[in-house]
Each structure stands twice: as C-alpha cells, then as structure tokens.
Structure 1
Amino acid sequence: MNIPTFPDVLSLEPSYPALLLDAYGVFYGGQASGPYPGSAKKLETLMNSGKKIGILSNTTQLSHSVMEKLEKQGIRQGSHYHFYITSGTVCQKALMERSLPFPTPKLRYILFGKPHPHVRYHEALFKSSPYTETTDPQNADFIYISVPHIQGEDQENPELFHNEVERACALNLPFLCANPDLFAHEGNPPRPVARQGSIAKIAIELGAKVYFFGKPHREVYRAAMEAFNRIGVSDPRSILMVGDTPWTDIRGGKEAMMATALVTGTGIFHETVARLGLEASIAQLGPYDRPHYLIKEL
C-alpha cells in the first residue's frame, strides 16, 4: 500500500501548520446525528496547538446557516475553527455577481425536481440574486439541481431518478450543480442517500453539460486559499486537506497543491473499507484520488 498511516491528525508526521477539513465524515455525522462524539474536543485541541483550521464543505446551505447550527451543537468559530466555506456560498457569490461560467441573458432557471419538503436550501441560494425560477424551458437559461427526493423521501439508489434526469436533459439546457457529492449521510444511524452529484453524474452520462461549484473543483479551493491568506497562510503546500471522499476531498486538495489525508474510520470511504478491506479499497483508487496519508479519524 505504501501510504503513511496514522491514528489521527495530531500524530501525523510531518506536522502541517494549517488544516482544511471536510465536515461530513470527518467530524460530523449528518443532520440527524450531529458531530461525532469527541470531535469538538479534538478541534479545540488542534486550535490550541496553533493550527489554522478551515472547513470546506460540499453543501448548498450557506456558510452562516451551517455555522449557526454548529454553534448550537457546541462547535464555534474562534474556538474550534477559523473559517467555514460551503459550496453553496461560493455558488451564491457567482449568482450575485452574474459570473456563472455560461451565458444567462434571461436570468431564469428551472428547478430540477419538486422542492424538497424538508430541505429548501435553493431558496436562500437564489434570494437577492438576479435570478428567478420559471417552469417554462423557453424562458430559462439553465437547470438548477436541487436535493433529489421521491415524495419527500431521500433515496439510496440514484438510478431511481434516471427517467427524471432524462426528461430534464431533453430540454437542452445546461445544469448547475452546487453540491458535487454523490451521497450524503442522513438519518440516525446515518445512511448514504443520493445527492445532487448523483443527478449530475447521470446527466453527464446522458450527454448534458453540467457546471459545478464544490470540491473537487477549483473555485472552492480558491475561496479557501483567500480565507487562509487572511489568517496568515499563503502557501497551499503548508495545508493538509482532510476528508473522507477520495474523488472530492483528495482529488481537489491535490489539484490545489495541498497535502492530503484520507479518513478511513468514518464517512464515505469507511463504508468501502468495511466491505473490501483497506488494501483492496486503496488499490481501487486512481493516482488523482490516492492520498498522501491515511488516518483512522480526525
């Protein structure tokens, strides 16, 4: 396997002065279960050791909304981390600035799927932006991928949405995806359920053009580096990206010239390890998704 392996970040050698953490699967178990036991103490210990800590999360929730929820759960900015950036916030900035990577002369979008009865993050995303929703494909610039569901229920199998995606592709409009994650952990105990990235993957397979905001794509890492610069960290090689998903956290971190550590004891990759074993799971990874280090937990 030949990848240096450590129990956690504090024991990792060499030590990195700055950490960029994923949330889900690293210190957070999902909306229902909240932070992993002991994660607040670990974050506090890392902060007290002098680490500069940023959090970069693929979610269409806005950063301030997530930070407010975390504070109620005992994880606070200043005590446990320095900054929190979501893919939703980076996408919102592009919406507000009308800097999407494709033309939008009509300033209208179609929502993929009906609004989720429990998760309506797109409303905050588009609020105060120049874009409004339409149901008329002739009057739309793009399709925004919302949280997929069937009658308000999350689904574990993305293929259940294939026909719906196929109908959307027939509109010949580009898709906008503000959360490239294929799955998210929801429920208690957490289970992997399909998210926007799964819809985007099907759309690409059907020949559609999809534009992304979120890991592993560079816009969110550029935003993270701007935040690190404000707290005195300017060299990406001094940052350790810690995540549980090889094709978002690790791939994006390596492309941003950061060191990377893959968490194997919790989150998405842990499920693969539990099924195949660690060595077989690592062997499946391509060079871009192969981390510099392995850690069991944060």
Structure 2
Amino acid sequence: MTRIINALSEVSASYDALFVDLWGCVHNGVTAIPSAVAALQEYRKTGGKVILVTNSPRPRAGVTKQLVHFGVPVDAYDAIATSGDSARSAMYRGVVGTKVWHYGPVTDSRFFDPLEILENPVEISRVPLEEATGIVCTGPFDAEAEPETWRADLEKALARDLKLLCANPDIVVDRGEIREWCAGAVAKMYTEMGGESLYFGKPHAPIYDLARRRLHKLGDSIADERILAIGDGILTDVKGAIDEGIDSIFISGGLAASETKTVTQPDEQALTDFLKTEKYDPTFTIGHLR
C-alpha cells in the first residue's frame, strides 16, 4: 500500500534523480505552483538531479519557453524530456511514412521542425488526409469539443488503414479550472475503432529511455533504484514508473483530486478506493508537490 508523505524532503535523500511530470505537478497550465518549484530547488541544492518528463507534444525548446512564461525558474530543473521529442524522432525515422496528415492545432506546427540530431532523417511532407501515408496527432483541433466530433475524420483514416502517431498519450489535462482533451484521447478512440496507434510518451518506454539519456548527459550514471518519478497521472506517471522499475510519488491533488478528496492531502479511504479501482499502487502519495 502507498505511503502518504507530507513533503518531498521526507524521502528524497534515498534518490539521486527525479523524473518529474510538469502539468498538474509543477504548473497548472497557467502558472507555476510555488510549493513545487521550492521543493525542486531545495532538492537540487542537495546535489540531486531533476529531469522534467512531460507528455507535451512540443519539442524541448518549446517547453523551455513555456516554462519561462509560466514562471518556472531554470534553477528548478536540470533537463527536459518531452513526448514530442520522442515522437518526433520516431516520425523522422519514418514510422508513419513520409506524407503525414497533421491532426492537431496549428500552434503545434513546431513539431515538424527539422530534427538535426538524427542521422539520415526521412523527409516529411504535411498533406491532406486523402494523400497521407500516416497520421501525426498532437491533440484535438478543439481541446474542449466533445470527442464524438473527432469520429468522422478518424473513420476516413481507418478506411485507408493509416497508422496514428500519438505525440501526447495524456487523455486530459486541467488548464487552470478548465479540463481539456489531449492527443491520447484521440488515439484511444482510434484504437477502439480498430485503428493502430503508436505511443512515445508516458507510460511507454521511449520517453523513459530519452529521460535516462538526458540524465546521462549531465555526467551521472544513476541506477533505476535511485530514480524517483513524480506525477499526477495514475495511468501515465505511476504506471510508467512501475513498468520501468522506478519508485514513484503520486500527486493526488492533480487529475484525481476529486476521486481522492484531496484538498491539502488525500482522504486515506478515498485514496485507497481509487488505487484499488485503478490497480496501480505508487510508492508514495502526497496531495501536492512541496
């Protein structure tokens, strides 16, 4: 059974690195969460390394700029690994062909910027659905629209037997007080319709491999048992950590705040019931990162 803790500092001495989710943990989609920023700054002062591991479909540079906008200071982390970077690498290796239909908002167009670190990348062209060899989904066109509005386009893609590359496996996020759909919800619907969806963010292995590479570039060789994952997604952050053999802290006051009755800390019985239903048991749980 998970252990409820009151602060990161209660357990952080047992770990040399943190893999930390962003949305719902370090910021709320609008602004930084001060207690989380302070906790990460204090951890880094002890010599610990912080890798921000996010299912954002944006490249690392785009997330860096976003963090500045949200007020997350650079001394709160060491490096960033994004689902977008992992998925872009796969796209430029040709996993959905060379002519792709972009299913997502125009604000995600930087996803298609050249990837210079990859040897011999394929040349990618964005084309209409009718000409595509595959789909790159960075999110719904309208993140607040009902999912049934996606079905018509996905039926056309399914009829052409197109693979869908999902740049963000998250199902939903909360932007302040507004809940929005993510690319993972589109991919889930497509899979349920009989299509094939390819994932590269949490809880899937590629993003953890990328995070370890980012950590290694800092000059540290750290074993998995000395890495602690932190996040508010039970099916992304916690499941991914368990699958990778990494300990985890579940932030109950994020996506599952209602189910766990979290204000400052989770209600113990509500948390127990929630984890029993979800069938994933994090190492630790805390209401909010602090």
> Structure 1 length normalisation: TM-score?
0.85
Which letter does structure 1 place at the counterpart of 2:66?
K
User: Do the aligned partners of residues 169 and 37 (structure 1) sit closer, same or farther apart at CA in structure 2, a change above 3 Å counting?
Assistant: same
Whether 1:241 and 2:244 are equivalent positions in the alignment is no
How much is the aligned-residue C-alpha RMSD, in angstroms? 2.2
Structure 1 outlier segments of 4+, above 3 Å: none
Deviation at 1:14, TM superposition (A): 6.7
Residue 193 of structure 1 corresponds to which residue in structure 2?
180
Aligned to 1:25: 24
Q: Give CA-to-partner distance per residue, 1:96-140, whole Å, 9 cap, x none.
A: 3x253x5x2xx101123xx53xx521x211123611111153x42
Q: In the alignment, does 2:287 pair up with 1:296?
A: yes
Hey, what does 1:128 align to over in structure 2? 114
Superposed, 1:1-298 pairs within 5 Å as: 2-12=1-11, 15-30=14-29, 33-77=30-74, 79-96=75-92, 98=93, 100=95, 104=97, 107-112=98-103, 116=105, 120-121=107-108, 123-128=109-114, 130-135=123-128, 137=130, 139-150=131-142, 154-155=143-144, 157-186=146-175, 189-231=176-218, 232-265=220-253, 267-274=254-261, 277-286=270-279, 289-298=280-289
Structure 2, unpaired ranges of 5+: 116-122, 263-268
Say how many residue pairs are matched: 275
1:250 deviates by: 1.0
Deviation at 1:245, TM superposition (A): 0.5
Give the match for residue 120 of structure 2. Answer: none
Q: Which stretch shows the higher mean deviation, 272-281 or 176-185?
A: 272-281
% identity of equivalent residues: 23
Aligned to 1:125, the other structure's residue is in SS state helix
